Amino acid sequence: MKILVDMNLSPDWVPVLKDAGLEAVHWSEVGDPSASDQIVMGHAAAHGYVVFTHDLDFGAILAATHAAAPSVLQIRTQDVDPASLAKTVISVLRQCQKYFESGALISLDESTHRIRVLPIRA
């Protein structure tokens, strides 16, 4: 699985994800740091990445556009430090791999995760 770490998350996530056997890149390595969310999503969809973000806009864009890709893992916690969340994030990435591969928005909070299969319909 290929993970594109959004600008609102630390580049420190990249080695954590790579150490877990995942392919990962921070957006700042492949695109303009000031690019819009739509640009990030377009790049992710075109290159087969799952967007890993703390930004709720990605879910809103997926819902508004009824897009089938890219898949998004959205962290909904205040503490987004890899030292605090790495085990949980990696567990959800592995546990939900089939959903990410087929298209999903997965929201992760302190106690659980919620899966929305793409495209999101009203």
Number of helices (H), then strands (E), belonging to the chain: the values are 6, 6
Question: CB neighbours (10 Å) of residue 69?
Answer: 20
Distance CA 59, CA 88 (A): 20
- Both tokens of 4, joined, read 């594109």
Question: Could you read off the pLDDT of 12-55 as tens digits, one per residue?
Answer: 999 999 999 999 999 999 999 999 999 999 999 999 999 999 99
Residue 28 CB partners (closer than 8 Å, separation 6+): 7, 11
Nearest-angstrom CA–CA distance, 33 and 118 = 26
Percent of the chain with pLDDT over 90: 97
Which position has the token pair 């890149």?
25
Strand partners of residue 107? 74, 114
On whether the pTM is more than 0.85, the answer is yes
Q: What is the pLDDT of residue 111?
A: 85
Pick the CATH number of 2-117 from 3.30.70, 3.40.50, 3.30.2010, 1.20.1650: 3.40.50
Q: Which residue has the tokens 């556009």?
A: 65
- Domain limits of the chain? 2-117
Residue for token pair 């009203």: 122
What pLDDT shows up at residue 79? 93
